[in-house]
């Protein structure tokens, strides 16, 4: 009987070759991905370690130092100013009107012209007044000759009376006649002087040094005596003054400084309070306080050589009341506020130490303080990152202020 034929396989019990290759490739990709993952973790840790000193958080919480700019307290003087709003006012303002009636024959000035006292401005037809002056002069000449004749007769009568040639009544009558003629002559002289003044009024000249305004009249127009309409306006602007007001509570310290004739300095700034226009001196204080506003007016005078001040211009004034010497000065921006208390970050051994100070007068970006000494170094930036005891590094480059810096530390 035939036996079944058995077929033997040499690969029985072993996986096929294709499956083995696939598993090998899979492990290779797993190893590659793990290597990339380990590399990524290592790079991230290196980046975090290098970034932590610069961004360690407020006060260097991650162990880094805070970069700041610093300022050194100095010993010096600081000025006390009183600020006010003022109005530029000419030293003199003349609105010239006609004092005679007549026709304008000439206008000699130009609009906006600077004139000197006595410069010709306007001419009015003077012929009627010159005729009146001639009449008055003629009457004066006649009466002066009548007086001379009466005086000669008086001399003759006096000689005759000495020789008993005439009665005394005749002599006395002649004496009174001489006195009457003297009165007539004096009256004629007054008439002549009046007419001379009228003729002079026809030639209008500038009464002061100053600047002229716009032309208000033209040649050929008739003007009347004592009219309310001005012919020309002259304003003296060299020197010029500024009138400003101060609260009545500030008056005692101003009066204390002006005793003995001391002139206080006054500075004038433009509307933006950025540009200094002129420096001058306080010249007077008004004699009463305004009961409605509780203020008092003061007047300061300025040379105005550069014409920086213009009449009726609104300006900001600063009255220098007193100068305090031997003060400890630091930048105002270095002072932080915590409620009603002021403090600074004092730099000691590369640490920021909070130090309470008392603020005084501020001027030109500096403030006088007590609580620190001249030569002490204080932080002047990066306040949002500082706490008491923070490690700091002083930057040589200015660090821009942030909102937290300008508002102060919480």
Whole domain around residue 135: which residue ranges? 126-201
Same domain membership, residue 314 and residue 242: yes
| 30 part of a folded domain | no
Residue 312's domain is classified under what CATH number? 2.40.30.170
| 41 part of a folded domain | no
Determine the distance from the C-alpha atom of residue 306 to the mean position of all C-alpha atoms in its chain, rounded to a whole number: 15
| 44 part of a folded domain | no
What's the angle, vertex CA 179, arms to CA 176 and CA 184, rounded to 5? 130
Cβ neighbours of residue 255 closer than 8 Å, sequence gap 6 or more: 285
Same domain membership, residue 348 and residue 296: no
| 22 part of a folded domain | no
Q: Tell me the pLDDT tens digit for each residue of 177-198.
A: 999 999 999 999 999 999 999 9
Same domain membership, residue 401 and residue 296: no
Work out the pLDDT band at 389, boundaries 50, 70, 90: confident
Same domain membership, residue 348 and residue 390: yes
| 253 part of a folded domain | yes
How far apart CA 301 and CA 238 sit, in angstroms, is 10
Averaged over 20-38, what is the pLDDT? 79
Output the pLDDT for position 53. 39
Residue 360's domain is classified under what CATH number? 2.40.420.20
Output the pLDDT for position 386. 84
Residue 116's domain is classified under what CATH number? 2.40.50.100
| 12 part of a folded domain | no
Same domain membership, residue 220 and residue 243: no
User: Domains in the chain: how many in total?
Assistant: 4
| 10 part of a folded domain | no
Residue at token pair 């100095």: 74
Same domain membership, residue 242 and residue 228: no
How far apart CA 370 and CA 358 sit, in angstroms, is 5
How far apart CA 139 and CA 289 sit, in angstroms, is 58
Output the pLDDT for position 132. 96
Q: Tell me the pLDDT tens digit for each residue of 94-120.
A: 999 999 999 999 999 999 999 999 999
Same domain membership, residue 241 and residue 139: no
Output the pLDDT for position 17. 58
How far apart CA 46 and CA 169 sit, in angstroms, is 141
Same domain membership, residue 221 and residue 301: no
Residue at which a domain ends, from 324, 341, 366? 324
Output the pLDDT for position 406. 46
In this predicted structure, the answer to whether residue 134 has a pLDDT above a threshold of 90 is yes
Residue at which a domain ends, from 280, 305, 324? 324
Strands of 184-303, DSSP E: 203-205, 210-212, 222-223, 232-235, 240-247, 265-269, 276-285, 295-302
Residue at which a domain ends, from 270, 293, 324? 324
Residue at token pair 């400084």: 257
Same domain membership, residue 195 and residue 318: no
| 254 part of a folded domain | yes
Give percent of the chain above pLDDT 90: 56
Output the pLDDT for position 147. 95
In this predicted structure, the answer to whether residue 231 has a pLDDT above a threshold of 50 is yes
Work out the pLDDT band at 398, boundaries 50, 70, 90: low
Q: Name the strand (E) or helix (H) holding 68.
A: strand 66-68
pTM summary value = 0.66
Same domain membership, residue 318 and residue 197: no
Please, what is the average pLDDT of the chain?
Answer: 86
Output the pLDDT for position 297. 95
Q: DSSP assignment of 150-176, as one string?
A: HHHHHHHHHHHHHTT-S-HHHHHHHHH
Same domain membership, residue 225 and residue 154: no
């Amino acid at each position: 009987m035939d036996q079944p034929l058995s077929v033997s396989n040499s690969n029985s019990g072993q996986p096929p070759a294709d499956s083995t290759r696939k598993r090998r490739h899979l492990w290779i990709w797993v190893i590659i991905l793990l290597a990339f993952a380990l590399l990524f973790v290592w790079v991230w840790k290196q980046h975090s370690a290098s970034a932590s000193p610069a961004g360690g958080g407020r006060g260097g919480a991650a162990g880094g130092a805070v970069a700041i700019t610093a300022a050194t307290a100095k010993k010096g003087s600081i000025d006390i100013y009183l600020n006010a709003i003022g109005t530029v006012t000419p030293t003199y303002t003349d609105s010239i009107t006609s004092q005679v009636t007549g026709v304008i024959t000439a206008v000699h000035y130009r609009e906006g012209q600077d004139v000197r006292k006595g410069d010709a401005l306007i001419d009015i037809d003077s012929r009627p007044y010159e005729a009146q002056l001639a009449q008055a002069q003629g009457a004066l000449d006649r009466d002066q000759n009548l007086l001379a004749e009466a005086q000669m007769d008086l001399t003759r009568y006096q000689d005759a009376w000495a020789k008993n040639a005439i009665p005394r009544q005749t002599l006395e009558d002649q004496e009174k006649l001489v006195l009457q003629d003297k009165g007539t002559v004096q009256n004629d002289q007054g008439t002549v002087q009046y007419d001379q003044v009228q003729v002079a009024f026809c030639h209008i000249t500038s009464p002061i040094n100053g600047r002229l305004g716009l032309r208000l009249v033209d040649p050929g127009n008739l003007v009347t005596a004592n009219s309310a309409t001005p012919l020309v306006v002259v304003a003296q602007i060299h020197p010029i003054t500024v009138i400003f007001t101060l609260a009545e509570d500030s008056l005692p310290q101003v009066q204390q400084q002006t005793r003995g004739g001391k002139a206080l300095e006054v500075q004038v700034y433009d509307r933006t309070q950025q540009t200094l226009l002129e420096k001058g001196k306080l010249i007077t204080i008004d004699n009463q306080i305004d009961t409605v506003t509780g203020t008092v007016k003061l007047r300061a005078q300025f040379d105005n050589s550069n014409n920086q001040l213009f009449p009726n211009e609104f300006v900001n004034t600063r009255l220098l009341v007193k100068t305090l010497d031997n003060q400890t000065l630091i930048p105002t921006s270095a002072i932080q506020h915590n409620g009603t208390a002021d403090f600074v970050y004092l730099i000691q051994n590369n640490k920021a130490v909070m130090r309470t100070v008392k603020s005084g007068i501020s001027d030109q970006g500096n403030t006088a303080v007590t609580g620190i000494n001249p030569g002490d170094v204080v932080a002047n930036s990066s306040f949002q990152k500082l706490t008491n005891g923070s490690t700091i590094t002083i930057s040589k480059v200015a660090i821009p202020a942030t909102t937290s810096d300008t508002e102060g530390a919480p």
